[in-house]
Amino acid sequence: MNSPGSNDTHAVEQSTRAAALELGQRARAAARLMLSAPDSAKSAALRAMAERLQQGKQALQEANAKDLEAARRNNLPAALVDRLTLSDKALATMTAGLQQIAAMPDPVGIQSTSVVRPNGMRVGQMRVPLGVIGIIYESRPNVTIDAAALCLKSGNATILRGGSEAFHSNQALGEVIRAGLKDAGLPQDAVQVAGTTDRGLVGELVTLTEHIDVIIPRGGKGLIARLAAEAKVPLLKHLDGNCHVYIDAAADLDKAHDIAVNAKTYRYGICGTMETLLVHRDVAGAILPRLAATLRDKGVELRGCEQTQALVSGVGPATDEDWATEYLEPILAIRVVDDLQQAIEHIARWSSGHTESIVTENLPAATRFQREVDSSSVYINLPTCFADGFEYGLGAEIGISTNRLHARGPVGLEGLTTYKWVLTGDGQLRG
């Protein structure tokens, strides 16, 4: 007993590791059982959860009240308290989400077009669940329901690890989920809400490669960067949405004006918001003063290159730091470029690979931009704020990925599945 402090630390680490391992093992066992779960059972579970959310409203709001009290005691900003609140409206939105996901077509089991090889064997691919998905998120308790629903519908087992601010709310929502799974005869470990907010648990989960197949972090850039540094389990994530709109020489300037305004002002805080506007020098004089006036009326601060500053008075200088920044604020960086080539190079250098758009009526320019810009979404004549699974027709979205492997851009149910090769023969032999 020479160093009791270090022994205590060791004991805590051990117990955290054991807790992570138990979550992982239970999830893996549940994932195996989920392989034979028909869509009728998955949808029934989601509908049962929807019903229980409404029936259990009082208990949920009582649990939520404990979190809200702690939040006020800790002087959390009003916006955070607002997100944390399980109001009647928030619960109604979650209920509707469950019903909507229940009604979506099952992504599991879908078989691709298959081919018959010269020897007569048939080769195809079948969509299957990814396996075990970990979700690590911050204060919004609605993520507990939304993420659980999408992962369950796609046949996965899920480990949910929410923030300490929403601990009581998440535990209560976890009970609703377990009860719904039980109602439908599905394994209750198919969705587990971690019963501790011990910070060490996150570090254990992101290295549990044997039992967790992918982790989806939902939260601020700080959380995600920290997880990425520690993780051995693959993360499905994006860090930044530094999105660009390029107004080409052949743009319809009315469309360009409206697209740029919408891309910047639809909502300042979402990842698809335009952060830098690139304008071809041939049309900069015709579009920039008018566009600047509209944006300023809406309270947007403008920062620009020298040419922009020459065309619009009162614009501050944009530096390399501006080109690199996802403002998430009513600020816009503007650069006048010599040509399409320079626009593509600017994007290659500064973009975070999220979403970019060209405004042009010229087909070769549009085609070249869409081929050569290497981001997860590339648009023609659309504002970048369309970057959203619902808008793409995915029905729902677990998040947006700027990874290059697996799922890119908005990730819906299909992104929560993988495939296996399925071959059928009649005794063909090799060699």
Interface contacts to a second copy, rule CB under 8 A: 32, 35-36, 109, 115, 117, 121, 123, 126, 128, 130-131, 213-214, 234, 252, 254-255, 258-259, 262, 266-267, 348, 366, 368, 370-372, 374-383, 385-386, 391-393, 404-406, 408-410, 418-431
> Least Å distance between CB 30 and a second copy?
13
> Least Å distance between CB 407 and a second copy?
8
E strand intervals along 340-408? 355-359, 377-380, 399-401
Which CB atom, from 174 or from 410, has the smaller least distance to a second copy? 410
> Least Å distance between CB 312 and a second copy?
23
> Least Å distance between CB 219 and a second copy?
20
Which of 91, 107, 109 has the alpha carbon at shortest distance from 99? 91
Which of 133, 131, 128, 159 has the alpha carbon at shortest distance from 214? 133
Which CB atom, from 60 or from 136, has the smaller least distance to a second copy? 136
Which CB atom, from 298 or from 406, has the smaller least distance to a second copy? 406
- Both structure tokens of 304: 């620009």
Measured between alpha carbons, how far is 55 from 73 in angstroms, rounded to an integer? 29
How does 196-219 read in b/e, with b if 16+ C-beta sit within 10 Å? eebeebbbbbbebeebbbbbbbbb
Rg (CA), the chain: 25
170 touches 193 (CB < 8 A)? yes
> Least Å distance between CB 408 and a second copy?
6
Which CB atom, from 130 or from 149, has the smaller least distance to a second copy? 130
Which CB atom, from 305 or from 378, has the smaller least distance to a second copy? 378
Which CB atom, from 221 or from 371, has the smaller least distance to a second copy? 371
Which CB atom, from 10 or from 232, has the smaller least distance to a second copy? 232
Measured between alpha carbons, how far is 119 from 336 in angstroms, rounded to an integer? 60
> Least Å distance between CB 391 and a second copy?
7
> Least Å distance between CB 148 and a second copy?
20
- Both structure tokens of 65: 């009240």
For residue 159, give the 3-state DSSP assignment.
strand
Measured between alpha carbons, how far is 374 from 364 in angstroms, rounded to an integer? 17
Left (φ > 0), alpha (ψ -120 to 50) or beta: where does 157 sit? beta
> Least Å distance between CB 417 and a second copy?
10
Which CB atom, from 55 or from 428, has the smaller least distance to a second copy? 428
Left (φ > 0), alpha (ψ -120 to 50) or beta: where does 73 sit? alpha
